Chains A and B, each alone.
Chain A
Amino acid sequence: MRQKKYRGIERKLALWGWGFNIPSLVFFAVFSFAPIIYAIYTSLYDKRVLSLKAPNFVGLKNYIDIFTNKGIGFLDSLKSSAIFSFGAFFPLVIFSLLFSVLVYNNYKASTQRKFEILWYTPAVISSVVATTIWMLIFDPRGLGNQVVNFILNTPGVDHRWTSNPSMLRFVTIMVYFWKYIGYYIVLFITGLGTIPGTLYEAARIDGASRMQCFRRITLPLLKPTVSLVSVLCLIHCLKTFSTQYMFYQSGAPLKPINVISLSIYTTGITNQRIGRACAMSIILFAAMIILSIAQLKLINADDIDY
């Protein structure tokens, strides 16, 4: 009798467990899984919104097109995304690691906090505002030219920040670096905080120098944080849209900054080549899956027990 009642409670609780999850599951089914499945399906059709006739099944033609037809410019897009991602990724990870270690090792917690707040502020404002500010700074008559001309002692030179393709790429990376450097520093400082201070004390007593402490204790123990932040940063960079869109809308040349997400937008929404845009989406999705699996592997591989 007692046993039976107990099982009743178990079952009741199991139902509640399901019940609490059903709203979220329904939501993800409609707004995550259905769209991605629909994107895979549509990428196999020659779908154009403006044409009234039913779309033709074309198999993998959309994929073949975007990788072989240079006129579509998807290969340029991949290149732009790669340049942007790695161009932003390396400085972000290297400098945020450097600055977090410097501030963590040399200042007491309250001073650290002040630096963190000042560095983090750009991350608080939106990408749209960030881009607007930098577009004005990099105006031909703007502050950017004046500062650079002052440093290089080249009065009156216009560095064509937004019209020269390489400069434009540099500027978009610069905006991104400026906005997110503080964010990654904060992540690294959190990681540094998990390394027990006793390890450093022990090393000091044994006569280790600062540099030795950094190389033998900090770096190896921070490795899980470094690898996680790296993947997170690459994922962020690969998804960038707002900065490039703003520059494009303000009249900058599209080609150097036509990152994958912007390319999906212009192909699908502006040019109404839905099937082709879906094929591009699936390529982006595949890249995300690879990065996410790497992330999972890193989380599981690098667990440290103190």
Chain B
Amino acid sequence: MSSEIKSPVYKIYKVLITILLILLVLLTVTPLVFMVCASFMTSKQILAIPFTWIPRPFQFKNFYNAVAGTLHTWTFPRNMLNSFIVSGTVTLTTLLLAGMSGYGLSKFRFKGKNFVFITIMSTMMIPFEAIMIPMYMIAQKLNLMNSYRGLIIPYLVSAFGIFQMRQYLLTFPGEFLDAARVDGMGELGIFFKLVMPNSAPVLATLAITTFRSQWDNLLWPLLVTQNAKLKTVPLYITSFSEEKHADEGALMAVALLASLPMLIAFFALSKYFIGGSEVYESRKG
């Protein structure tokens, strides 16, 4: 191996590979840099030929326009709050319910366990896109339209979350549970005080996956909310970009503001974003 590293052929090969890898970095990063730069530019500069990367002048007003909206309705802060409330609540309920189900399916023996597991897993085959019409009608029947309830309830738990929890807890030592039972701990106590705190890595991964998918969700909020005050961030961006005389600089400012929470979380906790599958793999075997 060491003789190969020194050979000139290998050096050229390595340089070529590095160039290739960096080209992909350029492809993935440039549009994001474009978003950041453009959010400080005037619309005229964004669409000027030739394009220049440094904003001149720095158009901080974009961020004011982004938050205030073109009609100065100030719905953006409210929509941001809605996104946090909906994504946050869905994340908490998913952790709780998926934890319960995953625990029940991995650490208990009962008649019909396999049936329950297969039933839950089979829901992964039902894509939301295929049930959006019936869901829309159910939401109307159950009076879920235009409300937080309506945004949250259809996503209380996910089959994938249950699967992840189950796989993780399969390797949880049963002796701990028995010891706690002998010590007189109740079943709920065992779940909340022993099982959940010891599942922190998988809970963190599941929390991030769930929060992200809700933060991105466009289709269901599009169906269930008509009231501008109850809309979420993706809908705000959609309506902002639809407006006729859209202000491109402000549009990019909206895009940047909407992405900041996720980008900050990603750079701070990248191990749970990228290593998510590893956490689960490591405990699987």
Contact = CB atoms under 8 A, between A and B. Distances in A.
B193 to A, nearest CB: 15
A124 B162 CA distance: 23
B125 interface: yes
Interface residues on A, range: 35 or more
A122 interface: yes
A115 interface: yes
Contacts of B113: 17
Contacts of A129: 35, 237, 255, 258-259
A186 interface: yes
A172 interface: no
Contacts of B204: none
Nearest to B138: A35
A234 interface: no
Interface stretch (A51-59, A71-79, A243-251): A243-251
Interface stretch (A23-31, A62-70, A215-223): A23-31
A176 to B, nearest CB: 13
Interface in B245-285: 248, 251-252, 255, 258-259, 262-263, 266-267, 270, 273-274, 277-278, 281
A20 B157 contact: no
Nearest to A177: B27
A127 B215 CA distance: 10
B135 interface: yes
A102 interface: yes
Given A24-B97, A132-B255, A241 B219 contact: yes
Nearest to B51: A143
A89 interface: no
A56 to B, nearest CB: 18
Contact of B116 (A21, A23, A142): A21
Q: Interface residues of A: mostly helix, strand, loop or mixed?
A: helix
B216 A127 contact: yes
A174 to B, nearest CB: 10
B207 interface: no
Interface in B82-110: 97-98, 100-101, 103-105, 107-110
B183 to A, nearest CB: 15
Interface string A98-113: 0100110010000001
A121 B241 contact: no
A292 B126 CA distance: 10
Most chain B C-beta atoms within 10 Å of own C-beta, residue among A18, A118, A119, A129: A129
Interface residues of B, number: 91
Contact of A249 (B50, B116, B242): B242
Interface string B3-37: 00000000000100100110011011101101100
Contacts of B267: 117
B123 A32 contact: yes
Interface string A210-230: 000000000000000000000
Interface string B167-195: 00000000000000000000100010000
A162 interface: no
Given A20-B101, A23-B97, A124 B219 contact: no
Contacts of B270: 117, 120
B255 A121 contact: no
Contacts of B157: 23-24, 27
B2 to A, nearest CB: 11
Given A103-B21, A246-B238, A269-B223, A24 B281 contact: no
Nearest to A285: B130
A106 B255 CA distance: 36
A2 B7 CA distance: 75
A86 interface: no
26 contacts: A14-B108, A15-B110, A18-B116, A24-B157, A24-B162, A25-B120, A33-B123, A102-B17, A102-B21, A115-B21, A118-B28, A119-B24, A122-B28, A125-B32, A126-B218, A132-B237, A133-B252, A133-B255, A136-B46, A136-B251, A190-B277, A241-B219, A242-B234, A245-B222, A278-B134, A289-B125
Given A28-B119, A249-B242, 17 more contacts: A15-B110, A20-B104, A23-B97, A23-B101, A32-B123, A35-B134, A35-B135, A124-B212, A124-B266, A132-B241, A133-B252, A186-B277, A187-B277, A193-B278, A242-B219, A260-B129, A281-B130
Interface of B: 1, 14, 17, 20-21, 24-25, 27-29, 31-32, 34-35, 38, 46-51, 97-98, 100-101, 103-105, 107-113, 116, 119-120, 123-138, 153-154, 156-157, 159, 162, 187, 191, 212, 215-216, 218-219, 222-223, 233-234, 237-238, 241-242, 248, 251-252, 255, 258-259, 262-263, 266-267, 270, 273-274, 277-278, 281
Interface of A: 10, 13-21, 23-25, 27-28, 30-36, 38-39, 42, 95, 99, 102-103, 106, 113, 115-122, 124-130, 132-137, 139, 141-143, 146, 178, 181-182, 186-187, 190, 193-194, 204, 235, 238-239, 241-242, 245-246, 249-250, 260-261, 264-265, 268-269, 274, 277-278, 281-282, 284-285, 288-289, 292
